[in-house]
Structure 1
Amino acid sequence: MDKALQSMIENMPSKTGKPLEEWVKLLKTKSFTKHSEAVNYLKKEHGVTHGFANTIVHLSKGEDTPTDNLVAGQYQGKEHLLPVFEKVKNFVSALGEDVNVVPKKTTVSFVRKKQFALISPATKSRLDLGLKLPGYPTTTRLENSGPFGTMCTHRVRLEKPEDIDQELKDWLRDAYAHAG
């Protein structure tokens, strides 16, 4: 199991009020037709944050490794970009024990108290890394958020593992700090 997912499961009782098993048991008593309905139920009725709600719903469906399943789906036909994703994920996960890696259908969010980065395969040859860096000017490399809209303030295009250089790591560290 992914280290970040395991950490999220371990922190679930203190962050949500119940261990995973109780949340799964609760969801099994309901009948939702869509994933988002179950997530919204947990958020509205039980005050669970989006990242935990999304993880609980995925795990309640019997998916043993939701992170791997969702990420594999994102990179189908773009497997050559996985080393770039993994390098970003490993760096971000090492920023602190409070980092949650939250896979979704088309993106993976990196969340502390709030989301501070988001990564998505944008094309067959490129990933887009969204960052929340309020007040930072745009540059040739640190672009306007583009397709991420208000979820992020900036976007960086990544094509190869070498693109995760010191400058990018500094931006990720700053985004992480702002989210705490």
Structure 2
Amino acid sequence: MATPEEQAASMIANMPEKTGKPLEDWVAIVAKSGAAKHGEIVKLLKAEHGMTHGFANLVAHKAREAADGGGETDLVASQYAGPKEALRPIYDAIADFVESLGSNAELAPKKSYVSLRRSKQFGLVQPSTRTRVDLGINLKDVAPVGRLESSGGFNAMVSHRIRLESADDVDDEVREWLRIAYENA
């Protein structure tokens, strides 16, 4: 079963054939229209352009992201803005390593964390406090030991958590745990 991200990518790839225009053109049309609310955008695209609900909904999301100043990259920037700015090098160290694992490694930013994915989620990175980033990883059948603690109440989407306070904490041990989680995904 395709992930939501894969479904959206497929719809975006098929958009020119199915709607007559690529996503960028539809986002520009929405911007020119002055429509700002999600429902307003969907209604406009369906009524005035004959778009199906699924495509109209996707364009509305992307148009609102663009109006807010971007999208995925900006989600990461906003996570590490203000008092959490000093934590960005920790995220960058993790992101660089994850991207080196293979072409199918994916960083999928959400509002408060970044999902680490392959065929399924194998981890997440979340700036949890002003002084700490939590790295959640899925390591089924691995007992918590040392810094590799049980995720407990941290996040039900991962089995373990590692608390990181500096980029130096993203060491060989952490990279090995990430590699194993990636290979098992």
Task: Mark yes or no: TM-score above 0.5.
Answer: yes
Greater RCO (Cα-Cα under 8 Å, separation 6 or more):
1
What's the offset of the Cα at 1:146? Answer: 3.1
Aligned-residue identity in percent: 35
- Ranges in structure 2 where 5+ consecutive residues have no aligned partner: 16-20, 31-36, 40-53
* Structure 1 stretches of at least 4 aligned residues deviating more than 2 Å after TM superposition: 20-26, 56-61, 146-150
Instruction: Please give the residue correspondences for 1:124-139 in structure 2 after superposition, counting only pairs within 5 Å.
Output: 124-139=130-145
- Is the partner of 1:146 in helix, strand or coil? coil
The residue that corresponds to 1:68 in the other structure is 73
1:68 partner letter: T
Instruction: Please give the residue correspondences for 1:15-164 in structure 2 after superposition, counting only pairs within 5 Å.
Output: 16=10, 18-19=12-13, 22=22, 25=26, 32=38, 57-58=61-62, 61-62=65-66, 65-76=70-81, 77-164=83-170
CA distance in 2, matches of 1:165, 1:59: 39
The residue that corresponds to 1:178 in the other structure is 184
Question: If the length of structure 1 is used for normalisation, what is the TM-score?
Answer: 0.70
Question: Rg: which structure is higher?
Answer: 2
Question: If the length of structure 2 is used for normalisation, what is the TM-score?
Answer: 0.68
Q: What RMSD in Å do the two structures reach over aligned CA positions?
A: 3.3
The residue that corresponds to 2:45 in the other structure is none
CA distance in 1, matches of 2:75, 2:168: 25
Conservation of the 8 A alpha-carbon contact between 2:38 and 2:61: no
CA distance in 1, matches of 2:38, 2:69: 20
The residue that corresponds to 1:6 in the other structure is none
- Ranges in structure 1 where 5+ consecutive residues have no aligned partner: 1-10, 34-44, 47-52
1:66 partner letter: G
